[in-house]
A and B are shown apart, each in its own frame.
Chain A
Amino acid sequence: MTDTPLIVTKDLKKIYAMGPHKLEALAGVTLSFDKGEFAGLVGPSGSGKTTLLNIIGSLDAPSEGSAVVMGRRVETLSHKEAARLRNRHIGFIFQTFNLLPVYSVYENVEFALLLLGDPPAVRRRKVMAALDWVHLADRTKSKPAQLSGGESQRVAIARAVVKEPDIVLADEPTANLDAVNSHNILQTMERLNRELGTTFIFATHDGKVMQYLRRKITLVDGRVASDEPVDGRVSSDEPGEGRSATPPATPAPGARP
């Protein structure tokens, strides 16, 4: 943890025009996230979880208020600056995996590094380390269509963390997975968080995810209803229901001994 928060939102509002009506998705959200947090935005559908995640990820801009991510005000960023922020500092994990269908597993993970301009040798080392971490080093040539849901999401995780981002934003990452795969995915992310210090922020209403969170922020109607640390967190060292206790064979990408 550092003294300076990675993310600070202040009185954040997001209003969508729906014809003659206006929909207030966020109604003044003030939050901050420090480095290394493993936090979740929880709440019912329409509570503003994804909207907040999108603004933090500079995929969207607030209507009012401010969001400062990695020292940059999201609302003032140009398209190019926002793209650069996402490319260098933020990894995304989506509910529907969103892998590039024509790319192999290896190429999907490598894609983020290509955009960063890493040399081929560095890319290969990082990609293999990331795939090793998610136990998919033997599926490098497979296409997304040949993977199960759990495997696809593990590729998405590898793609999100391979560039060693400061923040990973995961929008309902387990919604399309069964319990076993969900726990495996969550363990993987928790381990990355622990070993790399990467900040993870989830948008979820999945109870399985909540078991792993260290901070739970409940949103209701676009407002923060509660923001509390979670005491009953389950560690990956303590296998729970449907969870695998198998430790990774290799350290996380970028992990220091």
Chain B
Amino acid sequence: MTILKLALKNLLGAGLRTWLNVFVLSLSFVLIIFARGLIDGMNRQAEQAMIASEIAGGHFQHPAYDPYDPLTLADAHGPVPAPLAALASSGKAAPVLVIQGTIYPEGRLFTVRVNGIDPGQALLNIPTSFLAAPNAPNAPTDDASDAEIPVLIGTRMAKMTGLEKGDTFTLQWRDARGTFDAREAAVVEIFSTSVQTVDSGQIWVPLALLREMTGHSGEATFVVIAQGTAAPVLAAPASARPSGTPADPGAWVFRGPDYFLSDLKAMVESKTAGSSILYAILLLLAMLAIFDTQVLSIFHRRREMGTLMALGFTRTKVIGLFTLEGMLNGVLAALVAAVYGIPLLAWIARTGWALPGDTDSYGFALGERIFPAYGLGLVAGTTALVLLVTTVASFLPTRRIAKLKPTDALRGRMS
């Protein structure tokens, strides 16, 4: 208690020097928490956006479907398994048929992925209702073979192709028999999303129409399951099959949210590692400030150390006192950081942090603003880390005191 009281008095008695250190340290606190919170918020936002617009509760995929290989699309479809069809009829699943197609806007050629989805689905945050809106300029009619195909595209796709709402273009595809077919399509809506994988290079059309166009009646490439819905068991897992047995075409594979988010998480981890350099620099600055102060303090206060020893302090106590003084810098910094940091960080968390430039280039499903997320673990962890660093930085210079003779200290000399 005596040491704590003395340490606090010494610290506060040092006046401006202490408060400068405390301010620098508090900046480290706030910046580290902000930077970590930004990455956590970015991660969380990207996850939420991907789940909302692409993943939902997971996908049952046709066994031949490889989203990274467009050449597999021709064979990656089949009848929707009965349990999934039952889920779809109750609104807890949304089948999606995917084919490869080519569009010719303004005479230019773009290879696209054509996604057929039920316009009434509510599992993915994609405005598919526009595909069925009765007042849409090119809504499907009873005579589907003559009508323009209603198409929904994202803003990236629109930018890439130069298409605008109401524009028409030729869509070419290959049907179930391998015959190429083509028809006019019209953009009924352009939607904005932060998830590139439902936008770039893709167009969305009504599922029933696509099935009719391709002759894949009742088929799908994958089936999206609603969040919170237990995935039904469709077939024995591949591992249960005898070795060398070809995949059962009926054995659809379930891919949960973790599967889809693994790439994102790996990317976030790599970005987190990169941002650690920033933390290290901030902590190094804080450590240098404390270390420098401690060295100066020990040099200037040798006589005081001698007095303390003459009064009955052991060297260990003197070391403890000086280390505690340094550590209290961290405690004061945490308090100061709380005074201005909490309102500041809370405000940023509420209003978001505008990202500079084109967020698509980040490789994340990012919005234009990031909303940092500050967890208790982040704040407690950062506080503990800064306190640990300041304690170590405070302790290192005090080791000289261990060699200090009281008589030398009283004369103002170092042993």
Contacts and interface: CB of A to CB of B under 8 A. Distances in A.
B293 interface: no
7 contacts: A59-B405, A59-B407, A79-B315, A80-B314, A94-B410, A98-B306, A115-B311
A211 interface: no
Contacts of A84: 312
Interface string A112-147: 101110000000000000000000000000000000
B399 interface: no
A102 B315 contact: no
B312 A115 contact: yes
Contacts, number: 68
B307 A94 contact: yes
Given A79-B314, A79-B315, A98 B307 contact: yes
Interface in B93-147: none
Interface in B340-389: none
Contacts of B13: 101-102
B359 to A, nearest CB: 53
A96 B303 contact: yes
A79 B312 CA distance: 10
Contact of A92 (B303, B310, B315): B310
A86 B304 contact: no
Interface of A: 54, 57, 59-60, 79-80, 83-84, 86-88, 92, 94, 96, 98-103, 107, 111-112, 114-116, 159
A102 B9 contact: yes
A101 B314 contact: no
B410 A98 contact: yes
B10 interface: yes
Chain B's interface size range is: 20 to 34
B310 A86 contact: yes
Nearest to B1: A114
Nearest to A98: B307
A59 B311 CA distance: 10
A60 B312 contact: no
Nearest to B402: A79
Nearest to B10: A102
A102 B13 CA distance: 6
B279 interface: no
Nearest to A50: B407
B407 A111 contact: no
Contacts of A112: 311-312
A114 B2 contact: yes
A114 B354 CA distance: 56
Nearest to B9: A102
Contact of B310 (A59, A80, A96, A101): A59
A100 B307 contact: yes
A103 B2 contact: no
A56 B406 CA distance: 13
B312 A83 contact: yes
Contacts of B410: 59, 94, 98
Interface string B1-34: 0100010011011000000000000000000000
B311 A111 contact: yes
Nearest to B13: A102
A60 B407 contact: yes
Nearest to A96: B303
The residue among B306, B310, B314, B406 with the most chain A CB atoms within 10 A of its own CB is B310
B407 A83 contact: no
Contact of A83 (B2, B10, B303, B314): B314
Nearest to A90: B310
A114 B18 CA distance: 25
Contacts of B306: 98
A80 to B, nearest CB: 5
B313 interface: yes
A98 B303 CA distance: 7
Nearest to B312: A87
B338 interface: no
A142 B315 CA distance: 29
B268 interface: no
A116 B307 CA distance: 16
Given A112-B311, A115-B2, A59 B9 contact: no
